Every structure is written in C-alpha cells, then in structure tokens.
Amino acid sequence: MKLDRRTLLAASGVSGAALLAACSGGGEDVDLDGGGAGSDAGGAVDGAALIAAIAGEPDQLDPHSTTAYFSFQVLENIFDTLVEPDENLEMVGALAEDWEVSDDQLTYTFTLRDGVTWHDGSEFTAEDVVYSYNRIIDEELANAWRLAAIESVEAPDAATVVITVGAPTPDLLANLGNFKGLAIVKQDNVDSGDIVTSPIGTGPFKLADYVTGDSIALEANPDFWGGAPALGGVTFRFISEGSTAVTALQNSEVHWTDSFEPQRVEQIEGNDALELGQVPSNDYWYLALNIANAPWDKVEARQGIAYAIDREAIIQASTQGTAVPNQLAIPETSSWYHEYSTYSTDPDKAQELFDAAGGVDGTTIRFMATSEYPETVSSAQLIADQLSQFGITVEISTVDFATWLAEQNEGNFDMLMMGWLGNIDPSGFYYAQHHSEGANNRQSYSNPEVDRLLEEGGAEPDEARRKEIYGEAATIIADECSYIYLYNPAVLQAWVPEVEGYEARGDAAIRFRDTSLNQ
C-alpha cells in the first residue's frame, strides 16, 4: 500500500475541544444518519471512546479507490476482507471462516461466516464478495493488479464464494487480505456515491460523524462478527504537527498517536506516563526519478544519484537512526529477504556515472515532498546539499499530500521520496511498482526481463524457486534504479497506559477492535 501514509467525539472537556480548534480550525460537518459528535448514536456499546491522533486527513473513504495511508488507518476499523493477516502476518479467516484449494491450484472455495451483517443491519452474502472483486477488476481500480490472475468469481449459494484463477497464484490469499484496499463493500453504498464520505462496512466500528478538516468519529458495532468491541468508539483527529500530538498525548487529550517524528522517541521513552510501541516493519522508503525526463532516462544518471547520496545521513535525519538501511524493498525480518549492497556513498563513482550519462552539471531537479510526511522534507534538504557538489540544483516543492498524489499520478516530478507499507508477499513489493504495466509505476520504468520475472514469480508455486525469481528481479530493479531504495523504518506509535489490549503491528495496520480504555 502506498503511503500515498483510525469514537464518538467525546472530547475531554474544554481542553479537548480547544485542541480540535487549534489543530484544524474547524471544518464542514458531514451529516450522517445515526448521530454525530458526542451523541449516543447506536448506544448499544457503553465502553469509553478512544481518541486517536493521526497525521493527516483521508482523501476519501472508498477502500477500492484510495491509496492513502491516512484513509486506511480509519478503514481498517470499518471494513473487512475475506481473509486477513494475524499478528505473525499469516493469513487467517475473516469474512471467510474456511477455504479449500483444488489439487491443480486453480480453484479456491471459501465458506463465509454465518450471521454477518452490514452496519445498516442488512445481511452480508456471497454476492457482496462477487460484486466487490468484480468492481475492482472491471473498473480497473487502484488494486486491480492484485486480482489480475482471477478468471471468475462466483457465488453458488449465499455462503460460498468460488474464485477461479488462470494459473497457480501462490500470492492470492495475501492479495485478498493484505490490507483493506481489497475490502468487501456494499453495492448500494457505492451506487449512491455515499461510500466516499459515509462508508458502510461489516467491521468492528461504524461511521458516526465526519467533520472535514477536523476529525472522523466511529462508534462500536455491537453486531460485529468477532464480538462487540470493548470501546464505545474511536475518534480520529487530524494532527499533523508531532509536537502538538505528543503534547496532547501527555495531557491525555488524545489516547493514541502515530503522528510524531522519530526524533521524539527519546522524549516518549523517558516519560513514564506514556507507552511506546516500536516494532520492525515491512515498510520501505525510496527515491524515484522520473525516467520520462532527461537526463534521468539514462540509467547511468540514476545510478550516479544512488552513489551521490548518503543513506546513513538520510536515515539519521529522517528517523533518528530507528530505521534499518536496505538497498532493496523487502526487510531482513522477512523470509523473502534478498541480500544486496551494491551502492555506497562514492562521489568519484557518482561523477564517473554522471559523465557517462552526458553530464548533469547545471541540471535542476524538482524534488516533490509533502509536509504531511516530514521525513520527505528533511531528506529533500539533505539530498539538495549532497547533490549540489555535482552542479545539480534541487528545487524542493512542498505540497499537501492530496496534491502530492495527483502530481505523482500525472508524472509532474523529477524526483520524489515516499514509502510503501503493508506488503507481505514479494509480489506486493515489486509488481505494481516496477512491471512496465504496473498500476503504480509512476517513474515510467520498463524492462522486459523484469516483466517476465515478475510474471513468473507470481505464478510459481514452489516457494524456494519464487524467492530466487524475486531476488533476481529485485537485483535488476535496483541495478537500474527504478527505485533508489533507502531503508525499512520502524513502526512507531505511542499511547497512554489506560489503553489496554492494543499492539503495534509490523504491517502498520491500526486495529482497535481488541482495545479497551481503562478510565
């Protein structure tokens, strides 16, 4: 998932209300049936409401269309997938309680849970699964590539879904459950257009109130198939400033946050009134040069950048040393990890490659960063200094994240820095980003051999052979600098001690369904 990076609005008296005003300056209230801020809408679950501070506002709440992390922080708690990763990132049942795979590996038969209902009380059936997957495929939505192997999705009865693939697809389960981009949605919620701001799911929480520019309030779903949450709700407040979020946490104006820079880890660790969640992640951060623009269409010019930058300095500036350097995408904690260490900080080698590319002295790079991910800004400033010695001028364009996404999608950049999160299977780390027809290949990379390897890896049932294939593909990708990989960050979150039952996860999924608030 691209970082392209989850309640009733029960504020803690005046201080909570003041915090909202200070952080966002108000917003437009989206009128929702069933109650609004601070109401007792739903009323069936009496637990305390948790207040979570996240670093930005979702661009929308349609899980099939968004690619923004801020959206999925919220959607993780509203929607369900057919299967989902457990705490060890192994796929287990969610809306499907069981499944069987045919001997030829071409047919997957899922048995759905009995008695699941939508947030509006209507019955969930196999037809909802058929509709959801066909919508993604037919409309070529953000994650259609994850379903590319599917030939048909059928519902022989209300409790059974049969998926047929054209070739063995060992990553199918990971693709279906990797994150909420493959969530099961309700057709009339889509047809009405309401899903964008008023989604209806089957998950542990349902939307209660949405004040644009301000906050999103969820209330507990008492009929959730996994059991009613202990929390009465969750409020997601949009607080982009790390200092503001941590201060709010220290004052118990919010109960949980991931809206803080790694530079604040020491501050949080030194506070006995706060809990720090820090775990290795499956995420990765990278630089991308627009290969459609000269001189970055020449591999030597891109390789020159890879030797010119100082990764260790970038990691220190961006993460205070909490990240692990990696010149490929998949972290060392994964069984799919492949060793690669071609690049180092070598100005002479960089200059040699720049010369081979025809020279870069006098070149201007438009580096696109976003203040909603401060590491992109600090890294851009550092990289500008590092490249200046080669006569390259870096003009930093700092935009809001919605604009960042739009500009990236239009190819309006020379260089950008961003991250991907939540991937589990190697196909998720490489296919969409580097296949010539990949949905997220915004850097315009194309190599027929990489295409072949990524297609072969996606169909290879033998795990050892798959690892070899993806290692070979990843090596070419890094050699040719489709991405210039930087590091695997840590998942960093913090909460007050009254929050119980919550755990930071390596896939960065924010799940509050097993959380309680002891007040």
Instruction: Look at residue 461 in the predicted model and tell me its pLDDT.
Output: 85
Residue type, 328: L
> What would the pLDDT profile of 106-154 be if each residue is shown by its tens digit?
999 999 999 999 999 999 999 999 999 999 999 999 889 889 899 999 9
Q: Which candidate, 280, 284, 236, places its Cα nearest to that of 257?
A: 236
pLDDT at 15 exceeding the cut of 70: no
Q: Which two tokens stand for residue 51?
A: 């207040």
- Is the model more confident about 373 or about 249? 249
> What would the pLDDT profile of 141-180 be if each residue is shown by its tens digit?
988 988 989 999 999 999 999 999 999 999 999 999 988 9
Contacts of 489 (CB under 8 A, 6+ apart): 262, 281, 283, 284, 285, 319, 322, 323, 419
CA distance 398 to 416: 11
Does domain 13-75+196-279+492-517 fall under CATH 3.40.190.10? My reply is yes
> Cβ(135)–Cβ(185) under 8 Å?
yes
Residues of the chain with CATH 3.90.76.10: 83-184
Instruction: Look at residue 439 in the predicted model and tell me its pLDDT.
Output: 87
DSSP state, 371?
T
Average pLDDT for the chain: 90
Q: How far is CA 361 from the centre of its chain?
A: 37
Tell me which CATH homologous superfamily contains domain 284-488: Dipeptide-binding Protein; Domain 3 (3.10.105.10)
Instruction: Look at residue 37 in the predicted model and tell me its pLDDT.
Output: 31
DSSP annotation string for 26-39: --PEEP-TT--TT-
Domain topology for 83-184? Dipeptide-binding Protein; domain 1 (3.90.76)
Instruction: Look at residue 422 in the predicted model and tell me its pLDDT.
Output: 66
User: What percent of the chain is predicted at pLDDT more than 90?
Assistant: 79
**β-pairing verdict for 275-280 and 490-495:** antiparallel
Q: Which two tokens stand for residue 352?
A: 């040699």
> What would the pLDDT profile of 463-485 be if each residue is shown by its tens digit?
899 999 999 999 999 999 999 99
Residues of the chain with CATH 3.40.190.10: 13-75+196-279+492-517
The structure tokens 């890094």 sit at 478
CA 258-171-4 angle, to 5 degrees, is 35
Provide the CB-side half-sphere exposure for 36 (13 A, CA).
7
Instruction: Look at residue 45 in the predicted model and tell me its pLDDT.
Output: 59
> Cβ(20)–Cβ(237) under 8 Å?
yes
Residues of the chain with CATH 3.10.105.10: 284-488
Q: Is 105 left (phi over 0), alpha (psi -120 to 50) or beta?
A: left
> What would the pLDDT profile of 298-344 be if each residue is shown by its tens digit?
999 999 999 999 999 999 988 988 999 999 999 988 889 999 999 99
Instruction: Look at residue 22 in the predicted model and tell me its pLDDT.
Output: 30
DSSP annotation string for 461-498: --HHHHHHHHHHHHHHHHHTTSSEEEEEPEEEEEE-TT
Exposed e or buried b per residue across 397-411, where buried means at least 16 C-beta atoms within 10 angstroms of its C-beta: beeebbebbebbeee
Instruction: Look at residue 67 in the predicted model and tell me its pLDDT.
Output: 86
- Mean pLDDT (whole number) for 358-366: 96
pTM of the model: 0.73
Instruction: Look at residue 403 in the predicted model and tell me its pLDDT.
Output: 94
3 state SS for 4-27: CCCCCCCCCHHHHHHHHHHHHCCC
pLDDT at 31 exceeding the cut of 80: no
- Mean pLDDT (whole number) for 68-82: 96
Instruction: Look at residue 6 in the predicted model and tell me its pLDDT.
Output: 24
Instruction: Look at residue 24 in the predicted model and tell me its pLDDT.
Output: 32
Which range (33-47, 78-92, 154-168) has the least confidence? 33-47
CA distance 52 to 113: 30
pLDDT band (50, 70, 90) for residue 42: very low
